[in-house]
Chains A and B, each alone.
With several copies, the nearest count.
Chain A
Amino acid sequence: MLVVRAIQADDLDALYVMATQVGSGMTTLKPDMKMMGDRLNIAVASFAETIPPEERDYMFVMEDTDTGRLAGVCAIKGSVGLTEPFYNYRIGTLVHSSRELNVFTRMDTLYLSNDLTGSTELCSLFLHPDYRTGNNGKLLSKSRFLFIAQFPHLFTEKLIAEMRGYQEESGRSPFYEGLGRHFFKMDFDHVDALTAVGKKSFIAELMPRQPLYVAYLPDDAQEVIGKVHTSTAPARRLLEQEGMYFEGYVDIFDAGPVLQARVSELRAMRDSALAEIGPTTDWDSACAPESATAEPMLVSNTTLKDFRMILSQSVPVNGAVALPEAEQQLLHCKTGDTVRTLTLNPRKNNG
């Protein structure tokens, strides 16, 4: 069975093995023992609350309890951009209008900004190809929302996730070719490699500072603004289901979208609920809406340091949930303990 849990100090070797299997698209999980060890130390200190909230980096691993193997990883960074500037382009609107000529022109405009400085970031999602089946991807990605719903005081109100931008099959980034190359005079791959080692903010020194009309860019560059890489489209949909939106911020190099949410508006904040582990009464079940019974549920314990989460078929009814013994063990819980529950998929409004 699969459990998503807070990473632990002794996960380093297994994490390294998995990192060797990550493709080139993810820059934050390079198979580098030093970098990885440093990051893991920060993650352990984060769950232990021994470093300030804005420095924390909560890493979660998905463990296959049958084999003890790590199946995936994901993370939540407490705050971005507080040690080096975090740049985006923000898409705004400027209207140029002349009553005399009866001309009204509405122009999209790119502003180089650090607006997202200090935001909480979802990042470093990776699921091993062997486990890319069923609801595993959802479980891994969405585990972070349940964690945030359980511990909202640890996070800033603004939550973001950067999505890899569109590239052609050849690897060419139309946005980079239409904009960045003129100012960097180097290949996209080189720029990408520099960002991988944390040099992103300094490359941004070369970016033009003044607002840019999108209309100046070549058509193919304009078209991909806010568009994700084909392989990232499913990940984007999962985040959008949870209440994250593209609000007009994009990556300065490939124009990949940043998805954003207010923490208080997340589906997990609105719809997740606490429940006590124990039997449910017939009366409770009778009143429960019919549709809910077939829904798989995300269920987590409520312990920061030993956060654990599973996917369950048990439906909570009026504050109680009848979790099977095996699931209780996965969560390190027992009858009478409180768990947090959320349907894996959003419910529709009846409106």
Chain B
Amino acid sequence: MYVVRPVELADIAALEALAAVPMPGVHTLPKTREKILAMIELSIASFAAHVDIPSEEAYLLVLESEDKSIVGTAAMFAAAGSNGTYFSFRNDVIQQVSRDLNISHSVHALTLCSELTGYSQLSSFYVGEREHGTPEAALLSRARLMFAVLAPHRFADRFFVPLAGVTDSEGGSPFWDALGRKFFQMDFLDAERTIGGARNRTLIVELMPHYPVYVPLLPGDAQAAMGQIHPSGELAFNLLTAEGFEADDYIDIFDGGPILQAHKNSLRTFTGALQRRVSTSVEIPDRGREPQLRYAVSSGSEHNFRAVITHCPSLESQLSVALSAEVQEALNVAEGDTVICVRI
């Protein structure tokens, strides 16, 4: 059984191995042992913390396969840009109207904005190739929101997820070439290296355009790159839009990749989460008639979070959920405990 759990110090070697896998974009895991360790320590401290107002906490979850190896990661930042400002481009639509000429059309414009500052940010989603497209990948993605359902005070009311944008075979970005390069006077990869993937630095407001960028003025390849995901992000994109995240409103200021966002009330995990008491399932052959549904189920404790997949009949009109002994052990729960269940 695959289990999603908070990262532990013992995972450092496994994460170093994952970090060696080439991943595009900037919203990925740290690469060096030192930074991985810092991230793990921050996550452990964050899970342990008693939080009143979401701030600099960062939570890193890992997906553990049946053989206990780490095959996926997913992170949450409690408040994006908490030590600065999280900058993004807002994709505005401007109505152009001329009464005299009876013309009315709309023009898109990108405005540098700080509106996502303070949102909770999901990022660093990665699963191994074998897990691509499996329910376990969906479990890992969604487990973050289940934790937020469990501990809403640790998160903002709104969430966003930046996904890596398209780059060419040399690692160049057509969107960057049309915009950021003119102000930064350097290559895309140099710029990303220079600011370490951050989107909260003062130099962004110093260098990036203060006035809206009219999209029709951008070269075709840059327009085409707006809101386009790097192929490696397709899985995450599909999982998130199915969850209720919306694209189109914001894009990344560097590579033009989409930034998905949603109010938590629009997310399926929040609207569909069911709190149920644990009962022990007994194999009763004649109940097999009832259709078995797939649920993500997580423990109800914020300090000992676990999530797994289980199958059971519809929980809509039930007060309890029957879990096998194996699942109970994986979740570290016992009969009578509360768990959170979401159809998956």
Contact = CB atoms under 8 A, between A and B. Distances in A.
Nearest to A100: B203
- Most B CB contacts (10 A, CB to CB) among A98, A105, A199, A215 go to A98
Given A103-B186, A203-B100, A205-B202, 20 more contacts: A96-B207, A97-B206, A101-B184, A103-B185, A105-B182, A105-B185, A107-B182, A182-B107, A182-B214, A184-B103, A185-B105, A203-B98, A205-B98, A205-B100, A208-B107, A208-B214, A209-B211, A212-B214, A216-B214, A217-B217
Nearest to A202: B100
A12 interface: no
Interface string B215-252: 01110000000000000000000000000000000000
B140 to A, nearest CB: 36
A94 interface: yes
B50 interface: no
Given A101-B184, A105-B185, A202-B101, A209 B210 contact: yes
A88 to B, nearest CB: 16
Nearest to A183: B96
Contacts of B206: 96-98, 205
B99 interface: yes
B194 interface: yes
A178 B216 CA distance: 10
B185 A185 contact: no
Contacts of B99: 202, 205
28 contacts: A96-B206, A96-B207, A98-B203, A98-B206, A98-B207, A101-B194, A105-B183, A107-B182, A107-B183, A182-B217, A185-B105, A199-B100, A202-B101, A205-B96, A205-B202, A205-B206, A208-B109, A208-B214, A209-B211, A210-B109, A211-B210, A211-B211, A213-B182, A213-B211, A215-B182, A216-B182, A216-B213, A217-B217
A209 B216 CA distance: 14
Interface string B185-200: 1100000001000000
A98 B208 CA distance: 10
B107 A105 contact: no
Interface in A100-125: 100-101, 103, 105, 107, 109
B51 interface: no
A96 B181 CA distance: 12
Interface residues of B, number: 32
A199 B98 CA distance: 11
B205 A101 contact: no
Nearest to B105: A185
B209 interface: yes
Nearest to A105: B183
Contacts of A203: 98, 100-101
Interface string A72-103: 00000000000000000000001011101101
A238 interface: no
Interface residues of A, number: 31
Contacts of A184: 103
A183 B216 CA distance: 8
Contacts, number: 89
A100 B212 CA distance: 25
Nearest to B195: A101
Interface of B: 94, 96-101, 103, 105, 107, 109, 182-186, 194, 202-203, 205-214, 216-218
Nearest to B107: A183
A44 B210 CA distance: 40
Q: Which of A97, A107, A185, A202 has the most CB of B within 10 A?
A: A202
A334 B11 CA distance: 89
Contacts of B105: 185
Choose among B100, B184, B186, B206 the residue with the greatest number of A CB atoms under 10 Å from its CB: B206
A101 B192 CA distance: 12
Nearest to B204: A98
A48 interface: no
Contacts of A98: 203, 206-207
A216 B217 contact: yes
Looking at B202, B208, B210, the one whose CB has the most chain A CB atoms below 10 A away is B210
A103 B206 CA distance: 10
A36 interface: no
Interface string A151-183: 000000000000000000000000000110011
Nearest to B219: A218
Contacts of A94: 210
A83 to B, nearest CB: 14
A193 to B, nearest CB: 12
B217 A179 contact: yes
A194 interface: yes
Contacts of A213: 182, 209, 211
A46 to B, nearest CB: 28
Nearest to B206: A98
B107 A205 contact: no
A9 interface: no
A1 interface: no
* Most chain B beta carbons < 10 A, residue from A94, A105, A179: A105
Nearest to A181: B216
